[in-house]
Amino acid sequence: MARFGDGLATGSDLADAADRAADAALAGLGGRRPDLACVFVSGDDSDQVAAAGVRAMRRCAAPASIGCSGPGVLASAGAVEAANAVAVWCGVLPGVRLRTFHLEVLPASEGMAVVGLPERAPDDAVGILLADPFSFPVDSFVTRVNDALTGLPFVGGCATGWRGRGSTRLFINGEVADRGAVGALLAGPVGARVIVSQGCRPIGPTMTVTGSDGNVLLQLAGVPALDKLEQIVLELDPASQALATTGLQVGIAMDEYADQHGAGDFLVRGIAGSDPDRRGIVVGDLVPVGRTVQFQLRDAAAADEDLRQALRRFRSGTLDTVEGALLFSCNGRGAAFFASADHDASVVAAELAVDGLAGFFAAGEIGPVGDRNHMHGMTASVLAFGSGAVADRGTAT
């Protein structure tokens, strides 16, 4: 009997869509009550989005439920962008302790403080975080949580509404919030792992940063960074050279002491521009001297291959069976990028051989690379639930 189920419904009546999506998700559980329900709603009217979220949560009747609005939603049946739709995911998680939370930002003696995060338990395995980027400091929170909750992986994304600031809706336990962040901590025999696909392919060699100034790369392997980049691009085939004008990124190795670096070993960051006077490259992150970097290219073909390879590496690991998954896909990875909004959902469903799949298109994705959580862009972040030996031990990343 399945432990996970999902449902996807569309239509001008979001309340009706919420009912249909919830019923479809519950149907996969064979009459069992879910322990966790996740609800994702896309729609142009924030009040209707809120009402649909509440309706789906209450229909699922799970002891713990979270969710959010977004510009589109995903499920095993496909994906919907820029249209009224509801996706619901339900999971039966025997023995797992679930603690939901609503984070808010309050004034403090020294700036602002985030309140609402439960204290860490010894057997906490993974956290899910859904945040409104207009009212919550997602980047700084994800950075701080690495130190406050060392080694605990977080997965999720930035929620938005169709009308920008003020239109985001967050769902938690049958209630609605219009600011902050919501989420859940899962503890005990969760049997889950996080997969992050950053959608790039490497070009050129790995290189040691021999000169930098904050987020400006000045020297790579003793050569001015801009000169080194130009040299690498000139050695590419014409198609890749053309792609480098729009899809060029830089990968920062998470372990600069490793003898070899492969797919999944780099944190991909965008290139914001150049510093011609110093022959430097401006990167969207701090890159100190001594780190290892490698330039990367991103296009639909590279993103498709990277996602498939990440999922296959995961399947070839120690998780015995994959039964359900949550998917947080960048809102730039839909039909405009892949020519089909369904791409990420269909690839994850096929490669993991799973039916219980749901999520939303995020305005920034959360997931670990190496042993630290990061905010990402143009990324697919997956939380896969399974059974067997890993389930007995909790979460592995």
- Please check whether residue 87 is in contact with residue 358, taking contact to mean a CB–CB distance below 8 angstroms: yes
Predicted confidence at residue 46, as pLDDT, reads 97
Burial 212-250 (b: 16+ CB within 10 A, else e): beeebbbbbeeebbbebbeebbeebeeeeeebbeebbbb
Phi, psi of 232 (to 5 degrees): -65, -45
Q: Which of 212, 332, 322 is nearest to 278 (CA)?
A: 212
- Tens of pLDDT, residue by residue over 112-168, are 889 999 999 999 999 999 999 999 999 999 999 999 999 999 999 999 999 999 999
Sheet with 72-75: strands ordered across: 78-81, 72-75, 356-362, 321-330, 380-387, 192-197
- Please check whether residue 296 is in contact with residue 200, taking contact to mean a CB–CB distance below 8 angstroms: yes
Q: Considering just the CA atoms, what is the radius of gyration of the chain in Å?
A: 21
Q: Which of 372, 282, 375 is nearest to 328 (CA)?
A: 375
Task: Name the average pLDDT for the chain.
Answer: 93
- Please check whether residue 73 is in contact with residue 358, taking contact to mean a CB–CB distance below 8 angstroms: yes
Task: Give me the mean pLDDT over the 82-109 stretch.
Answer: 95
- Tens of pLDDT, residue by residue over 49-60, are 999 999 999 999
Predicted confidence at residue 263, as pLDDT, reads 65
Predicted confidence at residue 392, as pLDDT, reads 42
Give the rounded percent of residues in the chain with a pLDDT score beyond 90: 87
Task: Give me the mean pLDDT over the 382-390 stretch.
Answer: 76
